[in-house]
Amino acid sequence: MSQAGGGRGCGSSVPPRAPWSLVAATAALCLVSATSVWTAGAAPMSREEKQKLGNQVLEMFDHAYGNYMEHAYPADELMPLTCRGRVRGQEPSRGDVDDALGKFSLTLIDSLDTLVVLNKTKEFEEAVRKVLRDVNLDNDVVVSVFETNIRVLGGLLGGHSLAIMLKEKGEYMQWYNDELLQMAKQLGYKLLPAFNTTSGLPYPRINLKFGIRKPEARTGTETDTCTACAGTLILEFAALSRFTGATIFEEYARKALDFLWEKRQRSSNLVGVTINIHTGDWVRKDSGVGAGIDSYYEYLLKAYVLLGDDSFLERFNTHYDAIMRYISQPPLLLDVHIHKPMLNARTWMDALLAFFPGLQVLKGDIRPAIETHEMLYQVIKKHNFLPEAFTTDFRVHWAQHPLRPEFAESTYFLYKATGDPYYLEVGKTLIENLNKYARVPCGFAAMKDVRTGSHEDRMDSFFLAEMFKYLYLLFADKEDIIFDIEDYIFTTEAHLLPLWLSTTNQSISKKNTTSEYTELDDSNFDWTCPNTQILFPNDPLYAQSIREPLKNVVDKSCPRGIIRVREESFRSGTKPPLRARDFMATNPEHLEILKKMGVSLIHLKDGRVQLVQHAIQAASSIDAEDGLRFMQEMIELSSQQQKEQQLPPRAVQIVSHPFFGRVVLTAGPAQFGLDLSKHKETRGFVASSKPYNGCSELTNPEAVMGKIALIQRGQCMFAEKARNIQNAGAIGGIVIDDNEGSSSDTAPLFQMAGDGKDTDDIKIPMLFLFSKEGSIILDAIREYEEVEVLLSDKAKDRAAILKGKMIPSYIINSNPETENEEQPSSENDSQNQSAEQMTPGSQEVELVDQESPEDSVLSSHPESLSPADTDSAANASPSEQNPNPTENHEPTSPDGECTDLDDNQLQEQSETEEEPPPSVGWGKKAQPIDSILADWNEDIEAFEMMEKDEL
């Protein structure tokens, strides 16, 4: 979802902690055993090294911002692989992801205050002039209210805040007369019609020109919104009211927050993910701190800091107590059901919860912040980036990474709170990974799959608004910043609002409405800000002592079944409830326990066993809850067993001129032939086999001898194709799907199975590409004839690929400060989120055979489980997860928005000749080729060729 930032560490003292008893005993033993071996913390980083890293952040920002301004402006975002702007309506729709785009030069507005933080005051002044001259807020475009608020309204207000600061200093912006504030006010009025609901919760979308008026608006018919969408307005709207004196904005934002608070689940004090904006009914009743809810919690605490209203802190503390009671399972944060908070709602975590350690720092609860942050860092070290979603045993659930800044944000706040140089080393790792794996000639590209290193043609505006801001502040000393950052609070998009707004235009009633809903125990509330000097009493290694037990939490050396064990499950005088891992269908005692829990066992004709639960048939409510837990565990166990038989995706990397390893295609593995995860990668030129289907002896063995053969899928078994090309002398094979238009973007990756015979005779590696990915190679052959590829378990560092080759020096130069040095190749092992509501009642699970009914293709996603009764189905199996997050029922938003969620490239340094600024025009598809360094010409053509695949 959104990003959590923060200005000053303000909140309550550390509350009583729940016992750390939620990790399986085996994992606990591994962690406890590590406590005795922690050593001294990281060595202090010198001033010179910090300055060097800060300068590197500045250069990276220049690379991203400069390419946006040169190749994309005035479009909303840069497409870094094809070096052009993304214009709404001119590119293929990405669903709700595009709701952030409003034809208002989004990236420029989102970057305004970043320019000032990075001391680029001249560029800031030029950027403000461009915004005032070129940006139109009256476009006939439907946009997300949430995204437009945090990115555009927040960007304008952040720009205004620093513009008046610079004007007061007397050197820059002397001409400025609140023009950005007037634009912000205009936008605020455009967003107000979204609040035209009986509840006061805003519609999720609005037309910038027509509001929600039908039919012109083409919106205003939605019934649901996410909690964060409705609860992440108060900072920007209140700031707009305080800046302008127009109280209506703050009033509407407060009304929405009041309604959400009233609709919380009273027994658990948790809120759900999605709510009906007209009735206030919870549509999705799972609760966590990630996508769909995150910034709601953040804005409650920060509203207290910025506005000084005690009711916001009371609400935050109430929610926080519930989070730590039910959701926090250190170091994990797992979603639960708001009505039954002792039940986990899912078995995976989304990347957006990475903001939470930073928010805990602001709260003053440091220990769990350190624990969760360290767990996330271990995941990053394993995959180079934080996957969009990962399981409780730290496997990739969704493999995308759109360059999200939440982890960098929490790293910054933890460093400010602890002063531990360890977090500077963490920041250094983030910089290195961005440059090594995400940097491309025209900016930084999002990761399409962290396991293979493939890219996506997107560079979201929040990357410039937040990532570079937090990284620069991490390494900057106070004298490196031209203003006092402590005088401002960060919004969820890291925009800066001055704290003096708390005493300006206080015309809104600050009635404490919290007490109208519940009686609160004030004993846990401290109405003062925590002092970091007393958070770590005389112990400089405090943070290190917390982190060290988690160093191996992601490592495969310790088994790690994460199971919530209720204390009340072990009721006095009774046996613990039956666990799924212990169940035997032939054990009469187990069958009797199932019956007591309302679970029926059905033997199907095909030999499978089906389990169905009817909660109303259980002996008691406690037995029904045990039955629900048993069914959930069985779903997890069944899915896990299937996953263990699956192979991870592989990578096909084009390494010849002009690609030089920048094009990485996600490939499906084979259950036979050379295992690329255990053997050295296979490298060679490609050649098409004849016959193309490879189902008979090849007629062109001389063409494929010593090469990687291209074969079309169909007409015979995969193993037969492999034997035919192997007999012709091929060193590897790539099977290309014959289903035209198929793509790993829209279809689940699958692995090729054998033919039911012994396949030990197949010694060459075999990989599968969908049609769109395969067409990249076929088009490259038509264009360049000689095409060399690398078949591997994951994409390789281009410095290693190109070692010893005659290539242009700029390909391997990665840093202006380290010219002629090659980047070391990565040794990290590389490793999709639909949150279905889980309701107690009727559900089923089938215990299926582990072999696929087809022997030629094995799907890498287990079969979905269908409900057997309509009382209430529990559909929480990971097997039901949508393999393509952008097609989820709640698609990915670039910043998480009100929806649920969605490596290897060497950084490059190229200098661009100065040219006149491009003329402003929306019809422009790309900048002239000669605006890019001549050496890149052929590369750009190659990127354009791969455009359809990357989209």
The predicted pLDDT at position 210 comes to 94
The predicted pLDDT at position 646 comes to 67
Which of 31-40, 578-587, 606-615 tops mean pLDDT? 578-587
The number of residues in the chain equals 951
Going by pLDDT thresholds of 50, 70 and 90, the confidence category of residue 16 is very low
Going by pLDDT thresholds of 50, 70 and 90, the confidence category of residue 544 is confident
Closest CA to 651 of 499, 807, 801, 854: 801
User: In the chain, what is the greatest distance between 2 CA atoms, to the nearest angstrom?
Assistant: 85
Q: At what angle do helices 422-433 and 47-71 cross, to 10 degrees?
A: 30
Which tokens in the block code for residue 117? 């933080």
Name residues whose C-beta falls within 8 Å of residue 715's C-beta, 6 or more positions apart in sequence: 693, 695
Under a CB-based contact definition with an 8 Å cutoff, are residues 838 and 286 in contact? Answer: yes
- For the segment 797-804, the average pLDDT, to the nearest whole number, is 66
The predicted pLDDT at position 716 comes to 86
pLDDT at 933 over 50: no
Rounded to whole angstroms, how far apart are CA atoms 845 and 878?
Answer: 12
When mean pLDDT is compared across 30-34, 48-52, 181-185, 209-213, the lowest value belongs to 30-34
The predicted pLDDT at position 826 comes to 38
When mean pLDDT is compared across 34-48, 178-192, 227-241, the lowest value belongs to 34-48
Q: Indicate the SS3 state at residue 158.
A: helix
The predicted pLDDT at position 715 comes to 83
When mean pLDDT is compared across 189-203, 248-262, 881-895, the lowest value belongs to 881-895
Q: How far is CA 623 from CA 569, 597, 609, 612, in A?
A: 10, 5, 22, 15
Indicate if 388 belongs to the active site: yes
When mean pLDDT is compared across 169-178, 276-285, 499-508, the lowest value belongs to 499-508
Of 76, 294, 493, 844, catalytic:
294
Under a CB-based contact definition with an 8 Å cutoff, are residues 208 and 218 in contact? Answer: no
Rounded to whole angstroms, how far apart are CA atoms 172 and 611?
Answer: 71
Between 754 and 196, residue with greater pLDDT: 196
pLDDT at 285 over 60: yes
pLDDT at 674 over 70: yes
pLDDT at 382 over 70: yes
Eight-state DSSP code of residue 193: G
Between 949 and 618, residue with greater pLDDT: 618
The predicted pLDDT at position 501 comes to 94
- For the segment 349-364, the average pLDDT, to the nearest whole number, is 96
Between 324 and 856, residue with greater pLDDT: 324
* Averaged confidence pLDDT in the chain: 78
**Per-residue pLDDT tens for 566-594?**
333 333 445 667 877 677 777 788 888 88
Rounded to whole angstroms, how far apart are CA atoms 206 and 220?
Answer: 7
Q: How far is CA 650 from CA 79, 662, 730, 734, 793, in A?
A: 25, 16, 19, 11, 5
| Enclosing H/E stretch for 282 | strand 282-284
- What's the chain's Rg over C-alpha atoms? 28
pTM for this predicted structure: 0.66
Instruction: Give Cα 211 to chain centroid, integer Å.
Output: 30
Eight-state DSSP code of residue 654: E
The predicted pLDDT at position 167 comes to 96
Between 789 and 757, residue with greater pLDDT: 789
Going by pLDDT thresholds of 50, 70 and 90, the confidence category of residue 324 is very high
Q: Is 492 annotated as a binding residue?
A: yes
The predicted pLDDT at position 605 comes to 55
The predicted pLDDT at position 100 comes to 97
In the chain, % of residues over pLDDT 70: 71
The predicted pLDDT at position 539 comes to 58
Indicate if 406 belongs to the active site: yes
- For the segment 556-562, the average pLDDT, to the nearest whole number, is 38
- For the segment 275-284, the average pLDDT, to the nearest whole number, is 96
Which of 336-340, 518-522, 543-547 tops mean pLDDT? 336-340
- For the segment 854-873, the average pLDDT, to the nearest whole number, is 33
Going by pLDDT thresholds of 50, 70 and 90, the confidence category of residue 801 is low
Rounded to whole angstroms, how far apart are CA atoms 1 and 794?
Answer: 28
Q: Indicate the SS3 state at residue 712.
A: strand
Indicate if 626 belongs to the active site: no
Between 932 and 746, residue with greater pLDDT: 746
Burial of 443 from C-beta contacts in 10 A (0-12 / 13-18 / 19+): buried
**Per-residue pLDDT tens for 241-262?**
999 999 999 999 999 999 999 9
- For the segment 684-695, the average pLDDT, to the nearest whole number, is 93
Annotate 311-349 with DSSP letters as a single string. Answer: HHHHHHHHHHHHIIIIIEETTEE--EESSSTTSBS-SEE
- The reply to whether omega before 330 is within 30° of 0 (cis) is no
In 170-293, which ranges are continuous DSSP H helix?
A: 179-191, 227-231, 234-244, 248-262
Residue 486's CB is within 10 A of a number of other CB atoms, namely: 11
The predicted pLDDT at position 928 comes to 40
The predicted pLDDT at position 110 comes to 98
Give the chain's end-to-end CA distance (angstroms, integer): 22
The predicted pLDDT at position 758 comes to 82
Of 91, 98, 147, 350, catalytic:
147
Residue 477's CB is within 10 A of a number of other CB atoms, namely: 10
Of 335, 350, 406, 625, catalytic:
406
Name residues whose C-beta falls within 8 Å of residue 186's C-beta, 6 or more positions apart in sequence: 137
Identify the bridge partners of residue 287 per DSSP, sorted by sequence position: 336
HEC-encoded secondary structure of 717-769: CHHHHHHHHHHCCCCEEEEECCCCCCCCCCCCCEEECCCCCCCCCCCCCEEEE
Rounded to whole angstroms, how far apart are CA atoms 10 and 236?
Answer: 19
The predicted pLDDT at position 676 comes to 87
Rounded to whole angstroms, how far apart are CA atoms 219 and 226?
Answer: 17
The predicted pLDDT at position 631 comes to 82
The CA-based angle 65-68-71, given to 5 degrees, is: 145
pLDDT at 793 over 90: no
Rounded to whole angstroms, how far apart are CA atoms 150 and 143?
Answer: 12
- For the segment 539-545, the average pLDDT, to the nearest whole number, is 72
Under a CB-based contact definition with an 8 Å cutoff, are residues 181 and 243 in contact? Answer: yes
Indicate if 147 belongs to the active site: yes
Going by pLDDT thresholds of 50, 70 and 90, the confidence category of residue 507 is low
Rounded to whole angstroms, how far apart are CA atoms 165 and 172?
Answer: 9
Between 524 and 657, residue with greater pLDDT: 657
pLDDT at 343 over 50: yes
pLDDT at 811 over 90: no
**Per-residue pLDDT tens for 454-477?**
999 999 999 999 999 999 999 999
- For the segment 69-96, the average pLDDT, to the nearest whole number, is 95
Closest CA to 429 of 794, 113, 42: 42
Of 314, 365, 388, 633, catalytic:
388
Rounded to whole angstroms, how far apart are CA atoms 770 and 747?
Answer: 9
The predicted pLDDT at position 645 comes to 55
What b/e sequence results for 666-691 when a residue is b if at least 16 CB atoms lie within 10 Å of its CB, and e otherwise?
bbbbbbbbbebeeeebbbbbbbbbbb
The predicted pLDDT at position 532 comes to 46
Under a CB-based contact definition with an 8 Å cutoff, are residues 440 and 940 in contact? Answer: no
When mean pLDDT is compared across 4-8, 108-112, 513-517, 721-725, the lowest value belongs to 4-8
